């Protein structure tokens, strides 16, 4: 089941301690100002989590995530991890149509990924294409996915 974490009081927010990609980002930051976490939950435990930030541009750095927009057009997946094999890909397949339905102004769905081979393999294998390479990150584009 897909579940969105939008409150700093949500008990599932405690699982963010396991974030291997961006552990330095504070919990509160992840659930405010058009930022939230999507998770797949089985038996009250997450199987995968993705942190999402909404913008009207494609961020090139973590610092860009601080900029907010009142009319977001871009969903940015800035960290993803899983507790069960295949759950990260399943989460992306599940959350994309949900975001399109919930936020009709969104037209672009990208990552803000570290420049690692693991991230590259994961995103390309799951149907994304390279949108842009930045100094420390890569934006993979999932906009054509349904």
Domain ranges of the chain: 2-141
Per-residue confidence at 70, pLDDT binned at 50, 70, 90? confident
Kindly state the DSSP code that residue 64 receives in the 8-state scheme. Answer: G
Q: Quote the pTM value.
A: 0.95
Q: Is the pLDDT of residue 146 over 70?
A: no
Q: What is the pLDDT of residue 142?
A: 96
Q: Which residues on neighbouring strands pair with residue 35, listed in sequence order?
A: 53
SS3 95: helix
Q: Is the pLDDT of residue 134 over 80?
A: yes
pLDDT grade, residue 68 (50/70/90)? confident
Strand partners, 100: none
**For residue 111, pLDDT beyond 60:** yes
What pLDDT shows up at residue 101? 95
pLDDT value at 131 more than 60: yes
pLDDT, position 144: 80
Average pLDDT, the chain: 95
Answer whether 31's CB lies under 8 Å from 6's CB: yes
64 pLDDT exceeds 60?
yes
* DSSP notation for 12-47: GGGGGGG-SS-TTS-TGGGGSSSEEEEEEEETTEEE
Domain 2-141: assigned CATH number: 3.40.630.150
User: What's the pLDDT band for 55 if we cut at 50, 70, 90?
Assistant: very high
pLDDT at 69: 85
């Amino acid at each position: 089941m897909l579940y969105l974490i939008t409150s700093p009081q949500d008990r599932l927010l405690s699982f963010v301690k396991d974030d291997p990609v961006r552990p330095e980002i504070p919990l509160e930051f992840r659930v405010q100002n058009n930022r939230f976490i999507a998770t797949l939950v089985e038996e009250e435990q997450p199987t995968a989590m993705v942190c999402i930030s909404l913008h009207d541009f494609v961020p090139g750095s973590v610092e860009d995530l601080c900029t907010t927009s009142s009319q977001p057009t871009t969903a940015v997946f800035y960290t993803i991890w899983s507790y069960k094999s295949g759950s990260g890909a399943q989460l992306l397949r599940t959350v994309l149509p949900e975001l399109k339905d919930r936020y009709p102004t969104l037209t672009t769905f990208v990552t803000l990924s570290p420049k690692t081979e693991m991230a590259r393999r994961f995103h390309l294998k799951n149907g994304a294409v390279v949108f842009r390479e930045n100094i420390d990150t890569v934006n993979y584009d999932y906009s054509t996915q349904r």
